[in-house]
Structure 1
Amino acid sequence: MKLVVILPLCALFIAQTTSSESCVCELSSSEPLFPHDTLKTLQDSASDCNGNITPQKSTEMESLLLGLERRLPQLEEDVLTLEKENDGDMYGALSLHVIKNEIVEIMQMIDKLNSTAMRYKTLSADTSEKLQELKTEMQELEAFDTLQVVKRQQANQRLKRDLDQCKNGLHPTIPPTKDPQSSCPHGRFMNVSGPRVYTAGEYPGSYKFGAWGRDPKPEPGKESWYWLVMLTSSNVFSNYVRLYSSQSSLIVGVSVPGNILIHTSNPTTNTVQGPNVVLYGGALYYNCYNQDSVCQFNLTTKTVTTLKLPKGTRYNSKGNFCNVDECYPYTDLDLATDESGVWVVYTTTQDFGNMVLSKVEEGQPPTLGQTWRTSVYKQGVSNTFMACGILYATRYVSKDVEEIFYSFNPATGRERFNLGIFINKMAPKIYSLNYSPVDQMLHAYCESYMVSYKVQFEPIDNFYPVFV
């Protein structure tokens, strides 16, 4: 005899004989069916809450308020300085431009703070209402837990949490050691003079975006060489670096070494994206095409290795440098060199647009070293460079003047917003700015022109600690 049994839940059996060959048992239950659809809906709602309320979002207001707190006293100080020292001529005009830019940046921060506060207020109200609904529905579902499994799980979780707290209390966290104070063999950064070089090179007016400079750690026999990267596709991409055996060769446009190809196609995987490029130790460092990564192209082996930046890094023209009127496309990642090696400046979603500085350690592939976070908004900056381990940032003052207004010392964590070092421009916009520790020059690429400036350091004893 074949027996078929249907058992949804326990309850009352009613047996019926349908034939001499089979027997069917029906089982009915007096207990209500568990609402699986309701549980699935609650799980989805809880996931939405977890996605909307994150630890990173909770710190956004604090970051904006901190940035505003630091900028307002600086604005007040600049206004007082203008009132005391205004000569009614050149100095006053430049100071007014500086103050105007500071006010615009502060207003942008206030607008963002207001919009963020309103958005979070709405999010908080909606989330609070949803959590109350979830709590009520979960209490209703607990009625189905006749064996009290959920209550036992909650008790176990509380015990585990208490046990973890006891363990952590026995092993306190050791505070990290502080970095040594940075020192500069040239002295203290004081001023910029020039321009010393001003040339259109081989292709006058042809390529608006690019970068150029010298290798701070050149290969033997290439100590006097210069490099040039022009964005030859859509003013965004490039697939080669062009080399010159001397400064005079660069100026007259004679490239004896010629082009070193990264790839035959442009753009494609691991070719150059954006103008912020540097050469160090015979390798080109740049923003990889369509990636939140730094590419390292070895000019000798013709190989490319990549360094993935932290999750949330803004790329593809979402975290650019800007002036008051516009942003410079695909300047999300700014590579920089100085006496100590290669650095990268960028921003992430969790830093809410503020600049982040990381050390790039040489290797195959390169690795990401220590990282520092600043309180300066990246879109309030037009360019950055490194010199003697110090990060410097510029901003647009006028079509003739750029200001080095900001510095950050990774060794001390100190930020300054009032440097007041002005650069006389040969074109309205500087799309890339590289410091060369070989000759203490700033190399700027300005709307297809190559311009260099001499960095002036205060003549003090060698290896004097620089507190900037």
Structure 2
Amino acid sequence: MKLYMIVSLCALFALTQQAPSNKCLCELSTSEKVFPHDKLKAVEDGALKCNSDISPQKVAELDSLLLGLEIRLPQLQEDMSILEREDDGELYGVISLQVIENELKHINQLVARLKNVTLSHQRLTANTTEQLEDLTAKMQKLEVYDTMQVVNTQKTNQRLKKDLDQCKTGSNQASKPIQPPRGNCPHGRLLNITGSRVSTAGEYPGSYKYGAWGRDSKPEAGKEKWYWVVMMTVSNRFSNYVRFYATESSLIVGTSAGNVQINPTNPTTNTIQGPNVVLYGGALYYNCYNQDSICRFHLTNKTVVNVQLPKGTRFNSKGNFCHLEECYPFTDLDLATDESGVWVIYTTTQDFGNVVLSKVEEGEPLRLNQTWHTSLYKQGVTNTFMACGVLYATRYVTKDHEEIFYSFDTTTREERFDVNVFIQKRSPNIQSLNYSPVDKMLHVYSDSFMVSYKVLFG
């Protein structure tokens, strides 16, 4: 019985193997040519390369260099005329010659950079022209294939994918201020400053020549769009309150949200001394009245704490910002903010008047952290500010222009004296300026005018 079943199964298997296959084969032919996706991808890559090669930053660099020469050459001629008229053959002549020597050095640097940039632009223009001609020819060849609107479909898909990605990442959430490592700027290096975005005389036109204004670089909830102003209300030297504005438009038209007072009398203990103040994390940082120390005033609980600066720090108008014609009184200490927090710029007798930079750490007690020593003479500078852990310094050029000429990177300790970025001023003097990472703006207080400029990185 068992042997019979085995033989039957074997026979069935053999018949199954010999049965004809039921597969159906169809041959598809089309008159359309196969679309060359690889060629289209090559054209897209070429277009992207052209876009990256030609950028607004390259044009801005050329404009900045030309503006620098346009300003510096007449200034050099004027300095030479003054030397010829007033040379006494002694100290004045030596100082004037040194100024002229520095001017010539910077003009030569500008000319050299302009030459390099011009040659680079010429090469870029030739290469780009050749690439564009090649891309045009390739696109004309590809047009015969696009009978099914392949390119338009790809663009639609890319747009939909971008919208989907934004939806997934929650692009509508409030952006948080970035805090990169000091000296390591995610925006790139500072390239240029735009023309003024805001220019207003405020509530008291022409009344208070010295002061400061801006935005809290680490704003409290609900105050992200607020602006603050501190005006030196006594002798261009003291102030005892901070004034707030809920929006930019209210600042311009002069509709205040009120004051927060440090002390009812002015001047007195804990009074603000000098215009170089900043607001950070709901607290005002400033030079304490008649002291070589920093005060921090909390706006909410109205308490004041301070930190002593190193021994030998110059204060009470002994280490001011200056230019050849005048100094700005009680600008010994300059407070600044950037993405990483609060900084103080000052000088000491041990540093022979050169700029010293210290990081101010938050928390209790208030204290200084790392300190850097530079070769920049403070009284040859009109103001300073911080951006991404890099110290920048300005100097007076003419009544219409200020120059950002110097930078010091706190990470690499690299000093540069050839930044060559110019600011078009609203008024001849700049009493304070401060960079705000919230809006990437430079807020300037200039002879009672409040002016802001967009900072371009790249």
Would you call these one fold, judging by a TM-score over 0.5? yes
Equivalent position of 1:453 in the other structure: 453
Equivalent position of 1:398 in the other structure: 398
Whole-angstrom CA distance in 2 between matches of 1:418 and 1:391: 14
Question: Is the Cα–Cα contact under 8 Å of residues 182 and 390 in structure 2 kept in the other structure?
Answer: no
Superposed, 1:54-453 pairs within 5 Å as: 91-95=69-73, 97=75, 108=95, 182-256=183-257, 258-453=258-453
Cα 1:189/1:105, change in 2 over 3 Å: farther
Q: CA deviation at 1:99?
A: 9.7
Whole-angstrom CA distance in 2 between matches of 1:425 and 1:393: 16
Question: Is the Cα–Cα contact under 8 Å of residues 359 and 371 in structure 2 kept in the other structure?
Answer: yes
Letter in structure 1 aligned against 2:202: G
Q: Secondary structure at the match of 2:291?
A: coil
Letter in structure 2 aligned against 1:94: R
Question: Is the Cα–Cα contact under 8 Å of residues 391 and 409 in structure 2 kept in the other structure?
Answer: yes
Cα 1:264/1:95, change in 2 over 3 Å: same
Whole-angstrom CA distance in 2 between matches of 1:343 and 1:436: 13
Whole-angstrom CA distance in 1 between matches of 2:297 and 2:205: 27
Q: Secondary structure at the match of 1:94?
A: helix
Whole-angstrom CA distance in 2 between matches of 1:347 and 1:392: 15
Cα 1:388/1:262, change in 2 over 3 Å: same
Q: Per residue, is there more helix in 1 or in 2?
A: 2
Q: Secondary structure at the match of 1:250?
A: helix
Whole-angstrom CA distance in 1 between matches of 2:264 and 2:361: 28
Whole-angstrom CA distance in 2 between matches of 1:286 and 1:189: 26
> TM-score of the superposition, structure 2-length normalised?
0.63
Equivalent position of 1:63 in the other structure: none
Q: CA deviation at 1:407?
A: 0.2
Letter in structure 1 aligned against 2:211: G
Q: Deviations over 1:154-194 (max 9, x none)?
A: xxxxxxxxxxxxxxxxxxxxxxxxxx773212222100001
Question: Is the Cα–Cα contact under 8 Å of residues 105 and 380 in structure 1 kept in the other structure?
Answer: no
Question: Is the Cα–Cα contact under 8 Å of residues 241 and 261 in structure 1 kept in the other structure?
Answer: yes
97-106 vs 355-364, which moves further: 97-106
Question: Is the Cα–Cα contact under 8 Å of residues 217 and 282 in structure 1 kept in the other structure?
Answer: yes
Cα 1:244/1:105, change in 2 over 3 Å: farther
Question: Is the Cα–Cα contact under 8 Å of residues 241 and 260 in structure 2 kept in the other structure?
Answer: yes
Whole-angstrom CA distance in 2 between matches of 1:439 and 1:264: 33
Letter in structure 1 aligned against 2:185: C
Q: Secondary structure at the match of 2:350?
A: helix
Cα 1:245/1:348, change in 2 over 3 Å: same
Whole-angstrom CA distance in 2 between matches of 1:282 and 1:373: 29
Question: Is the Cα–Cα contact under 8 Å of residues 240 and 261 in structure 1 kept in the other structure?
Answer: yes
Q: Secondary structure at the match of 2:72?
A: helix
Cα 1:207/1:219, change in 2 over 3 Å: same
Q: Deviations over 1:369-425 (max 9, x none)?
A: 100000010000000000010000000000000000000011111100011100000
Cα 1:343/1:249, change in 2 over 3 Å: same
State, as a whole percentage, how many aligned pairs show the same letter.
Answer: 67
Cα 1:284/1:101, change in 2 over 3 Å: farther
Q: Deviations over 1:279-318 (max 9, x none)?
A: 0000000000000000000000000000100000000000
Whole-angstrom CA distance in 2 between matches of 1:355 and 1:105: 25
Whole-angstrom CA distance in 2 between matches of 1:101 and 1:285: 39
Q: Deviations over 1:311-346 (max 9, x none)?
A: 000000000000111100000000000000000000
Q: Secondary structure at the match of 1:249?
A: helix
Q: Deviations over 1:242-272 (max 9, x none)?
A: 011111111111112x010000010111110
Q: CA deviation at 1:105?
A: 12
> TM-score of the superposition, structure 1-length normalised?
0.62
Letter in structure 1 aligned against 2:410: P
Whole-angstrom CA distance in 2 between matches of 1:217 and 1:362: 12
Cα 1:352/1:365, change in 2 over 3 Å: same
Whole-angstrom CA distance in 2 between matches of 1:105 and 1:438: 45
Question: Is the Cα–Cα contact under 8 Å of residues 68 and 422 in structure 2 kept in the other structure?
Answer: no
The total of aligned residue pairs comes to 305
Whole-angstrom CA distance in 1 between matches of 2:296 and 2:370: 18
Q: Secondary structure at the match of 1:456?
A: strand
Letter in structure 2 aligned against 1:444: V
Whole-angstrom CA distance in 2 between matches of 1:94 and 1:235: 31
Q: Which runs of 5 or more structure 1 residues have no equivalent in the other structure?
A: 1-84, 112-179, 459-468
Whole-angstrom CA distance in 1 between matches of 2:446 and 2:209: 7
Question: Is the Cα–Cα contact under 8 Å of residues 335 and 342 in structure 2 kept in the other structure?
Answer: yes
Q: Per residue, is there more strand in 1 or in 2?
A: 1
